C-alpha cells in the first residue's frame, strides 16, 4: 500500500517552454503532498508543500511563479516548470502523506532535462 | 534550525561484511528520524523510522538503527551486507510540521 506515482519519469524540453509533472497517490488519499528537487550527487531539497484545495507553501528561495504547484484533488498534485531554462534541469521527486502521519511516501522521481 | 550530517560520502564494504552508516542531527528536542535508500534514478524507499519508544529500531531488508540522544546520532547498521544493498542512503529528520531535512547521503559500494 501507499504507492505514489509520477509522470513522466523522464522529460526533455526546450529552453523557454513549460513542462508539467504529475504526482498521484494510487491507493490512498493524500492530505499533503511535497515536491523536492535533487541535484546530481546532492541531497533532496524541499521546494514546496501543498494541501488539497489550498495554495502551496514554498520554501525560501523557490520562485513560486516559476514552479507552479496545483493540488487539485486528494490524489493528484502537479508541478509546472514555466519558461524552463537549462539550470532547471534536475531530478524532481514528489511525496505524499495522509492524516496526521509523519511518514511520507515517495514517488519514483522525474528527470527533467532542459536543452 | 534542524540539520543532518552524514560524515561519510562514500563507503565500500565487502559482501558479507557488517555495515554502519553514520548520521548526526541537530535539533532542540527529539525529532522524528528516518533512513531512506535510493537506487540510481529511483525515488526513495523508507528503511526505518524512529518516533519514540525503543531506541533500537528494526527496518526492512535486515537493517536496524539506534537512536542515541546523548550523541544526537541515529546510525544505520546491517550485520551482513548483500550486493543488492549497493545504493545511496539518506538520513532525514523531521522536527515537526513535516519539514523534513535530508542529509547529503552516503553512497554504498559492495565488492564481491
User: Is B102 an 8 Å CB contact of chain A?
Assistant: yes
Report whether B100 contacts B91 (CB < 8 A): no
**Amino acid B2: pLDDT:** 83
Average the pLDDT over B77-90 and give the result: 96
User: Is B18 an 8 Å CB contact of chain A?
Assistant: no
Cell of B65: 538503527
SS3 A39: coil
**Amino acid B79: pLDDT:** 97
List of chain A residues whose C-beta atoms are within 8 Å of the C-beta of residue B37: none
Assess whether pLDDT exceeds 90 at residue A2. no
User: Is B30 an 8 Å CB contact of chain A?
Assistant: no
> Smallest Cβ distance to B44: which of A6, A97, A106?
A106
Cell of A38: 535533487
CA distance B44 to B37: 6
Q: List Cα–Cα distances, B71 to A74, A87, B3, in angstroms.
A: 40, 39, 14
Nearest in space to A79 (alpha carbons), one of B63, A91, A87: A91
**Amino acid A40: pLDDT:** 79
Within chain B, strands assigned E span 3-5, 10-14, 19-21, 24-26, 32-38, 44-50, 56-58, 64-68, 73-78, 87-94, 100-102, 106-111
Tell me: the pLDDT tens digits for A48-57?
A: 999 887 889 9
List of chain B residues whose C-beta atoms are within 8 Å of the C-beta of residue A93: 43-44
| Cβ <8 Å between A43 and B46 | no
CA distance A9 to A19: 12
**Amino acid B107: pLDDT:** 95
| Cβ <8 Å between B98 and A106 | no
Confidence of residue B96 (pLDDT cuts 50, 70, 90): confident
Average the pLDDT over A67-75 and give the result: 91
| Cβ <8 Å between B98 and A32 | yes
CA distance B27 to B23: 13
Give the residue ranges of DSSP H helices in B1-112.
Answer: none
CA distance A13 to A86: 9
| Cβ <8 Å between A43 and B104 | yes
Q: Does a cis peptide bond (omega within 30 degrees of 0) precede residue B69?
A: no
Assess whether pLDDT exceeds 90 at residue B22. yes
Assess whether pLDDT exceeds 80 at residue B29. no
CA distance A12 to B104: 26
Amino acid at each position: 500500500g501507499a504507492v505514489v506515482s509520477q509522470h513522466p519519469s523522464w522529460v526533455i524540453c526546450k529552453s523557454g517552454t513549460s513542462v508539467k509533472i504529475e504526482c498521484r497517490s494510487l491507493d490512498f488519499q493524500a492530505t499533503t503532498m511535497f515536491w523536492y528537487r535533487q541535484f546530481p550527487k546532492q541531497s533532496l531539497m524541499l521546494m514546496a508543500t501543498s494541501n488539497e484545495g489550498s495554495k502551496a507553501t514554498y520554501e525560501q528561495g523557490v520562485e513560486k511563479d516559476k514552479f507552479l504547484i496545483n493540488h487539485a484533488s486528494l490524489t493528484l498534485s502537479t508541478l509546472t516548470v514555466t519558461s524552463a531554462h537549462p539550470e532547471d534541469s534536475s531530478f524532481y521527486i514528489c511525496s505524499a502523506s495522509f492524516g496526521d502521519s509523519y511518514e511520507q511516501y515517495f514517488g519514483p522521481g522525474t528527470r527533467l532535462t532542459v536543452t | 534550525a534542524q540539520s543532518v550530517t552524514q560524515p561519510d560520502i562514500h563507503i565500500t564494504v565487502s559482501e558479507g561484511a557488517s555495515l554502519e552508516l553514520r548520521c548526526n542531527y541537530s535539533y532542540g528536542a527529539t525529532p522524528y528520524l528516518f533512513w531512506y535508500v535510493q537506487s540510481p534514478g529511483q525515488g526513495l524507499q523508507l528503511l526505518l523510522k524512529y518516533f519514540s519508544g525503543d531506541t533500537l529500531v528494526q527496518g526492512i531488508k535486515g537493517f536496524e538503527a539506534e537512536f542515541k540522544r546523548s550523541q544526537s546520532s541515529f546510525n544505520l547498521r546491517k550485520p551482513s551486507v548483500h550486493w543488492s544493498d549497493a545504493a545511496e542512503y539518506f538520513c532525514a529528520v523531521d522536527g515537526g510540521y513535516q519539514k523534513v531535512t535530508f542529509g547529503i547521503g552516503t553512497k554504498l559500494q559492495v565488492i564481491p
